[in-house]
Chains A and B, each alone.
Chain A
Amino acid sequence: MNVTDLSVMALGGATVLYAIAMFAYAIRLARVADEKVAAKAARVVDRDAVAVGAGAPVAAPAAPLAAEVTVASSTPKRSAKAAGIARSTTLMGALLHGVGLLARGIDAGHVPWSNMYEYTISGSFFAVVAFLVIQRRKDIAFLGAGVTGMATIALGLALTVLYKDVDTLPPALQSYWLLIHVSIATIVTGILTVSFIATVLQLMRDSRARGTRWTGDRARFLEAVPTAAKLEALSFRMNAVGFVLWTFTVMAGAIWAEHAWGRYWGWDPKEVWSFVIWVLYAAYLHARTTQGWAGRRSAWLAIAGYVALIMNFTVVNLFFQGLHTYAGS
């Protein structure tokens, strides 16, 4: 087995593991939702029981606490098992993913982010890593299904549609700026992907809470997801990090363009879209603090920013002519 095969096989393995993790996370969500609904029901039943038994509603306030304690300490939750499987498969997937990336880098003799295949495998890696890093600090397992799902799709597409054999770097890319500029851009993509999932959940959860959409039983998993306000706070923090890093990416790109092409900004399609992304996220940040725009509307702006980000390295690479065209090759 040579390095090329090792890379492809490791990435293939990661894809499968992510797919399994996605199902496990989805099952976990469904079970947590069930448990929450059951706990709520138990609380109501308990309260009724107390009311009937003691004949005095005064005792009622104490009841919910007791009910929650019983649920929490009862036999190991069914959701915990799914969560365990999900976490370990994600971790192993990320490990294989990392091996695949490393092997690709060694095989190519340069950092593995110089064409679309490589962006996709490294961007999805950073998304999973961002998820795992945040997961260490706080419980965001509810994002797991989305993150591993998107990683599965990205890796699957990369290996089947976008795959390119390794090649040497064209002179324009032979620069340490490739390491700085493109790696940060790819990391941003990873972070904003996780944030995007949180934002989508925020909108769905908000709709469910208002009773406008996603109210049915099939969207019951939303019961296992934090409130819209908490999701907003979570995605804001990721967006803030992403936005600062994106600002850096654009600036580093301008410095590199000055070195390579003799102009720091030329409104080449890639530059236009980087600018659009930046402005959309800036608009999102303003919207958060503008009356009538905070909440749903600003969330939609964050989604627009993310869509532009994805456009920038799919549609723009493939269909628009510009100095950055080597990216598609």
Chain B
Amino acid sequence: MARMKLDNYVVPAAPRLGFRGWLRWIWRQVTSMRVALILLLLLALASIPGSVLPQWPQNAANTREFMSRHEFWGPLLDRLGFLDVFGSAWFTAIYVLLFASLVGCIAPRAVHHWRELRRPVAATPRSLKRYDGAGPEATDVPVDDAVEAARTALRPRAGILGAITGYRVRVDRRDDGSVALAAETGHVRELGNLVFHASLVLLLLAVAYGTLFTYRGQAIVVEGRSFTNAVLAYDTYSSGKLFNPANLDPFTLRLDSLDAEFSDTGRPLHFQANVTFTDPGAEPVQTDISVNHPLDADGANVYLQGNGYAPVITVKDAAGEVAFSGPVVFLAKDAVYTSTGVIKVPDVSTGEQMGFKATLYPSFAEGPFAVGSVSPNPDNPVIEMLAYTGDLGLDAGVPQNVYTLDETHLSPVQDADGQPVTLRLALGEAVELPDGLGSVSFDALPRYGAFDLRSDPSLPWLLTAAILTLAGLATSLFASRRKVWIVARAEGGTTVVTGAAHAPAHDAGVGGVLERAMAAAVGRDVVEDAGEREEE
């Protein structure tokens, strides 16, 4: 230990670490197995709230409701990141530390493993008594032949492949006249372990790359209409920080028809969008998209995520002019596709703006107490709606949700008794609004498909990393780490062979290997089960 002088006394130096010393100490801690273990446990623990509490990225609507229901806990949990666990600072900190630890762990081990690989196999121990042994067996095979036979049994293949898959061997002629064979395997296991851990890093990098360069958008397309791949055409659009929207391929997708099949009990059986896909400057291609079968559109995938009805509604104003006409996207509320939608009619030639809140029953039926749809199929489509007049509030410049009606400046249309009027229309029907306000008709009932477009250039990398991870893991867990020794010695006219093996406790197969090597050495048949480790 370094000593320093303090006054006239000589005292041992206090173990002062200094800045670099501290850094080194911290790094050693971070890369220790114990810390890795604790970080793994923290990672598991930290994930759990993400499945218990509503999360912004997964379900914003539920999360908003949670926030309003829990006035104290909601905002507090939100501030602390519990409502977006997997994007929170603490979750990020845990996995960043874990991966730092991982890199700090595997880099030196890779170097170490490389050196190990090139170091010769350790010589056979003088005494094999400490290990599970076999023999001694006597044979008339000469000493050298016996060892050679055992060597070939343990390493059947020569060359590089043999070195990777088989045992590394070493033969020593010892002073006492015996010949000792030392064979060991375990480097494949170690290699697998390194590949596994390195692939985890690759996996994380691929995810990060994907996050930066991905884009996704949702669009609803009604049967007979088309969609063009451009930011403005999407209902919602988001992209990674480094994705340039100018790179969007301007293809168009036309929804020719949407098939929706249901069982007699109303369970969905099959959804399929029949589409025409057109790349600029190329021939249109007819194809289909269904659940589990996305369309590959120039590197982006197009998924069919939902479907529903978009009734074609025509509204005429008081002057008898068509003020609105077209399909309106209704959102299904239940398994029988009872759907709701809103019709906004701002462009009236005379009078006030009009709005409608409507419910569609695809298979309308009227019971004694209630009305409803009995099937998701359009067997008897009926729309019920409430009409409103007034100001739709569209001029305020605030973007509005197309599925809700802002009723602040609207009043319901009433009958003579002052009750709100419920209009009921079957397909093909038209009804007059009271007070000569105009008329509404329900002209057709096309379906729509809700499409999700996504491009993620990291997918091939992810798959590669995943396969490497799995291969590395399997190798590292199933490849064995064994040492086998065979010692042959001439005694009188015969050769006496002893053997021993060493492997972790869970390795049941090592006895069989030793038995095969022994059998080869003494030139006899292998005794099955001879090497099975007994359970009790």
Contact = CB atoms under 8 A, between A and B. Distances in A.
A226 B269 CA distance: 52
Interface in B255-279: 263, 265, 267-271
Contacts of A262: 216, 294, 301, 303, 305, 452, 454
B47 A276 contact: yes
B58 interface: yes
Contacts of A258: 459
Contact of B292 (A171, A266, A272, A285): A171
Nearest to A266: B58
Given A247-B470, A267-B58, A286-B40, A139 B33 contact: no
Interface in A224-262: 226-227, 229-230, 232-234, 236-237, 240, 243-244, 247-248, 251, 254-255, 258-262
A102 interface: no
A283 B41 contact: yes
A268 interface: yes
A283 B37 CA distance: 6
Given A243-B477, A279-B40, A286 B33 contact: yes
Interface stretch (B49-57, B173-181, B358-366): B49-57
Given A168-B263, A233-B506, A290-B34, A259 B292 contact: yes
Contacts of A251: 466, 469-470
A321 B37 contact: no
A92 B459 CA distance: 47
B292 A247 contact: no
Contacts of B62: 321
A48 B248 CA distance: 91
A261 B303 contact: yes
B532 interface: yes
A171 B303 contact: no
B491 to A, nearest CB: 27
A234 B506 contact: yes
B532 A233 contact: no
A259 B290 CA distance: 10
A232 B535 CA distance: 11
A320 B51 contact: yes
Interface string A138-154: 11100000000000000
A272 B33 contact: no
B377 to A, nearest CB: 15
B269 A168 contact: yes
A273 interface: yes
A169 to B, nearest CB: 8
B454 to A, nearest CB: 5
A260 B474 CA distance: 28
A242 B469 CA distance: 15
B462 A264 contact: yes
Given A244-B473, A276-B44, A286-B37, A140 B505 contact: no
A36 B305 CA distance: 64
Interface in B27-70: 33-34, 36-37, 40-41, 43-44, 47-48, 50-52, 55, 57-59, 62
B506 A236 contact: yes
Interface string A197-241: 000000000000000000000000000001101101110110010
Contact of B36 (A237, A240, A286): A286
Contact of A267 (B40, B50, B265): B50
Contacts, number: 133
Contacts of B41: 279-280, 283, 301
A227 B532 CA distance: 17
A291 B33 CA distance: 9
Contacts of B36: 286
B267 A167 contact: yes
Given A229-B505, A247-B469, A286-B33, A272 B268 contact: no
Interface residues of B, number: 55
Count class of interface residues, chain A: 35 or more
B25 interface: no
Nearest to B32: A290
A170 interface: yes
Contact of A138 (B293, B477, B535): B535
Interface in B82-123: 85-86
B268 A267 contact: no
A149 to B, nearest CB: 21
B508 interface: yes
Given A244-B474, A247-B473, A289 B33 contact: yes
Interface in A160-204: 167-168, 170-172, 174-175, 177
A269 interface: yes
Interface in B290-318: 290-294, 301, 303, 305
Contacts of A77: none
Given A267-B55, A267-B57, A260 B292 contact: yes
A78 interface: no
A41 to B, nearest CB: 18
Contacts of A264: 459, 462
Given A272-B48, A289-B33, A174 B474 contact: no
B50 A171 contact: no
Interface centre among B86, B293, B535 (most CB of A within 10 A): B535
B243 to A, nearest CB: 16
Contacts of A260: 291-292, 303
A233 B533 CA distance: 12
B267 A170 contact: yes
B435 interface: no
Nearest to A270: B51
Interface centre among A140, A254, A263 (most CB of B within 10 A): A263
Contacts of B462: 264
Contacts of A227: 536
Interface in B380-420: none
A263 B50 CA distance: 18
28 contacts: A138-B508, A138-B532, A168-B269, A170-B267, A171-B268, A226-B535, A226-B536, A230-B505, A230-B535, A232-B506, A237-B506, A243-B477, A247-B473, A259-B293, A259-B294, A262-B216, A262-B301, A264-B459, A264-B462, A272-B47, A272-B48, A275-B47, A276-B44, A279-B43, A286-B37, A286-B40, A293-B34, A321-B62
Given A168-B267, A321-B62, 6 more contacts: A167-B267, A172-B291, A247-B473, A262-B454, A272-B47, A276-B47
- Nearest 9 pairs of A and B residues by beta carbon: A233-B506, A272-B51, A269-B51, A171-B291, A283-B40, A262-B303, A279-B44, A175-B292, A240-B477
